[in-house]
Chain A
Amino acid sequence: MDLKIRKHAETYIIDVNGEMDLYNSYKLKELVMKMLEKKVEQFVINMENVDYIDSSGIGALIYICSTIKKMNLKLIISNIHGSVKKVIELTKLMGYFPIAGTVEEAIQKIATP
């Protein structure tokens, strides 16, 4: 799995590429924590190129989500599809995660208070 960061105005978009599994999900966690230390306040996690996620990956997303919520910052997860979507549905977390269909939608949602 590899992670790329890009910026759109004040929003940082993390493009996740590959599989989020028990061996590498911690990398996303670590990255977001680092970005929080650098005072990033608006996050979009783009799952367009993620086609596999397991409980560790979901756990990482949960951790990131709750940390950001506690700090009153903004996060949206976008482009969930295929089996990733199915797993999140099975875990009944579709309502829990802040979700958008595309990165553009996510950016818009973050912009509107």
Chain B
Amino acid sequence: MPDFILYVINNSLWAKGLAALVLLVYLQRLATKPDVPVLSQFRSMAFVLLLTDLALLFLPTYSVFPILQGFGLLFFYHRVLAVYSADGKLPAWFWVLSVPVLVVTVLTPILGWPWFVGFLGPVVLLGMWFAFSQKLYAISEFNTEGAGVIQASRRNLIQGMILLHGTALILVPWGGYLNPFVQMVLFPLVDLVHTWTLSFWERFADAQKNRHLTTLEKNLGSLFEFMVAIGNAISEKLEMDKVMDFVVKSAVKATNADGGAIFLLDEFEDVLRVKAVEGDFPPPYQVPPKVKLKIASLTEYFQSTPIPLDKTIVGECAMTRKSIFIHDTRDDARMSQNAQLDQIYIASIILTPLLQGNKVFGVLAVVSRRGNYLFNADHYSQIQTFADYTSLTINSLFTYLELLEKQEMEREVGIAAEIQGQLLPSKLPQVSSISLAAYSLPAKGVSGDYYDVINIRRGQILLAVCDVAGKGIPASLVMVMIRTIIHLVAHQPGMTVGRILDVVNWGIAGKVSLDRFATLALLSYDFASKRLEYSNAAHHPLLIFRAADKSFETLDTEGIPIGLEKKTKYNQINTVLQPADIVVLYTDGIIEAMNDQGSQYTLEALQKVILAHHEFPPEKLKRAIIEDMNGFVGKAKQHDDQTFLLMKVDG
């Protein structure tokens, strides 16, 4: 069609075609990155661009399509922003303004109001782009993960928009929309500028993802060193003070803070006392006027004055049991005295409660006293992890010290059981669409089993069962490590069960000397799609009861136990569950439960019980299994921990 080609050339549409090609190539590249979060929005944006490009080729209404294109793109830009921003919704005024303007724009060529299209349409459009750029600056800096991406890329976005709209504002009044030179510059410019801004977004999303991974690795690295040192400290010299000094030192080092402190709740009164301080930690509250504003007096005052639970930010943290992250003390009225007075100057502070179950027993805090070094989301998550592990360890330590006053030989056994007891979920989450039941009975003195149920996010749940080789305190500490790592990473986006196993294994392998191996099975279940993913490191296969044909099936993946080789990669397998299906995770102690004759309970017996009682809800089924197993075992002694988790799909 030589006419068509001439038409394209004469109307400078070839330049637009080239630009569109660039966009297509870019999209192809993006397609190779399935984990860029807003890829689908980018694609829709590009689709809008290309569609309007195509329309330009065939339809003479040059003026309408750029406007439609502008609105379409604005819509998708808002959608991208919504993915990253806290509220995730498009602003209401967007609809209020754009819908009528669009309607009029489309009708104009038909009804013949050229002046409107030539003037008001673009003005409204420009105004909305301006409002959009304002919104870019309104994104709060630390309350969403993606906000960092917005911050990093907004300058480029603004530049792109100024370039595009500025050029349009200069050229269009000068030559009019129908001027071929104007078209040759503007049309490809649209595609190119949007491709450019998209690529910035993509690049920053990428960098953030990588930073995330490096931070995760660093986090795990420092967490691990921390765990090993605590483990050693516990086995060598059980001094609570030493352990806490170590914790606060590590927290300060990991966040590059200027100072850190641990406050512990007094045993009798409702006050918090300073137990450990590292570096430069000024009192994070209003100091009474009688105290001289000199370092020595301030330090003495701070370390000797108990803080009532209803006073100051420290008390608030303990009372509400919620972490407090003040990125910039100038923005928060609670810290006004610390923001203003040099001697107690604090630029940024993170406080996090130390919890045992749902009781708070202390607070861990770190401060920055440099105005140009404010804590960010990564520091915050690191402190959370430290606090998590510290709480568990300090509790274990307290328990150990208590039990130390009692019997000798039995202590190792009792402590391990205590430690394990604190790790297990105190109650199973109540969620719609599935029911859960759990059973765990340690054998005399041995505590090698750990199980957990974690709500990863709305509509997705993670089940874990773990059997640590070796028993006693070292094995319990390994269990603490495993649990902490699982809790640390399970919520991260993109963490499949296979990846979680990789990370747990990586964290455990290689360094600790004793009793560091374990079998671990992880199952994640999505309520909406009923999709189940299972990965396991040398654990028993997952047992599934299919209600439809009352049959059993097993899911298994290959893998050596965790803790053996650092770089092991674990696979996963998935399936879809149907209503009334039952899923069972169990440990050796169930299948190998022995009676006086030395015979084992076996998987077949377990299946038989489940088949017979499959209509029961999990709690009742659990009791049926326990009864059947105990009936079989009789008076014979239990020789291994017995643990199983049941999950039944409602319906």
Contact = CB atoms under 8 A, between A and B. Distances in A.
A19 interface: yes
Contacts of B513: 18-19, 51-52
A60 B474 CA distance: 28
Interface in A6-22: 18-19
B423 to A, nearest CB: 26
A18 B513 CA distance: 7
Interface residues of A, number: 4
Interface string B511-551: 00100000000000000000000000000000000000000
Nearest to A2: B511
Interface string B494-514: 000000000000000000010
B567 to A, nearest CB: 15
A10 B101 CA distance: 89
Nearest to A18: B513
Contacts of A52: 513
Contacts of A19: 513
A107 to B, nearest CB: 26
Contacts, number: 4
Interface size range of chain B in the complex: under 10
B27 to A, nearest CB: 49
Interface string A48-60: 0001100000000
A2 to B, nearest CB: 9
Interface string B579-594: 0000000000000000
A16 to B, nearest CB: 12
A52 B512 CA distance: 13
A52 B513 CA distance: 10
Nearest to A19: B513
Contacts of A51: 513
Contacts of A18: 513
Interface string A22-59: 00000000000000000000000000000110000000
Nearest to B565: A23
Nearest to A1: B513
Interface in B288-343: none
Interface in B74-97: none
B498 to A, nearest CB: 25
B516 to A, nearest CB: 11
B254 to A, nearest CB: 23
A48 to B, nearest CB: 14
A18 B510 CA distance: 11
B268 to A, nearest CB: 42
A21 to B, nearest CB: 10
B28 to A, nearest CB: 47
A52 B470 CA distance: 15
A102 to B, nearest CB: 20
A102 B441 CA distance: 46
A56 to B, nearest CB: 16
B400 to A, nearest CB: 21
A18 to B, nearest CB: 5
A49 to B, nearest CB: 10
A51 B513 CA distance: 10
Interface in B435-477: none
Nearest to B512: A18
A38 B513 CA distance: 31
A3 to B, nearest CB: 14
A86 to B, nearest CB: 17
Nearest to A52: B513
A45 B113 CA distance: 95
Nearest to A21: B513
B598 to A, nearest CB: 31
B86 to A, nearest CB: 47
A61 to B, nearest CB: 19
Interface string B111-129: 0000000000000000000
Nearest to B564: A23
A20 to B, nearest CB: 11
A19 B513 CA distance: 7
B564 to A, nearest CB: 10
A52 B515 CA distance: 13
A9 to B, nearest CB: 31
A81 to B, nearest CB: 15
B600 to A, nearest CB: 31
Nearest to A51: B513
A57 to B, nearest CB: 13
B182 to A, nearest CB: 71
B512 to A, nearest CB: 10
A18 B232 CA distance: 13
A19 B516 CA distance: 13
A105 to B, nearest CB: 24
B470 to A, nearest CB: 13
A51 B232 CA distance: 14
B233 to A, nearest CB: 16
A19 B510 CA distance: 12
A23 to B, nearest CB: 10
A52 B474 CA distance: 15
A47 to B, nearest CB: 14
A19 B474 CA distance: 15
A89 B513 CA distance: 23
A103 B650 CA distance: 68
B224 to A, nearest CB: 15
A35 to B, nearest CB: 25
A52 B516 CA distance: 15
A18 B514 CA distance: 9
A61 B513 CA distance: 20
A105 B47 CA distance: 81
A25 to B, nearest CB: 14
A75 B334 CA distance: 66
B509 to A, nearest CB: 12
B431 to A, nearest CB: 44
A11 to B, nearest CB: 27
B336 to A, nearest CB: 50
A22 to B, nearest CB: 13
4 contacts: A18-B513, A19-B513, A51-B513, A52-B513
Interface of B: 513
Interface of A: 18-19, 51-52
4 smallest CB-CB distances across A and B, nearest first, come from: A18-B513, A19-B513, A52-B513, A51-B513
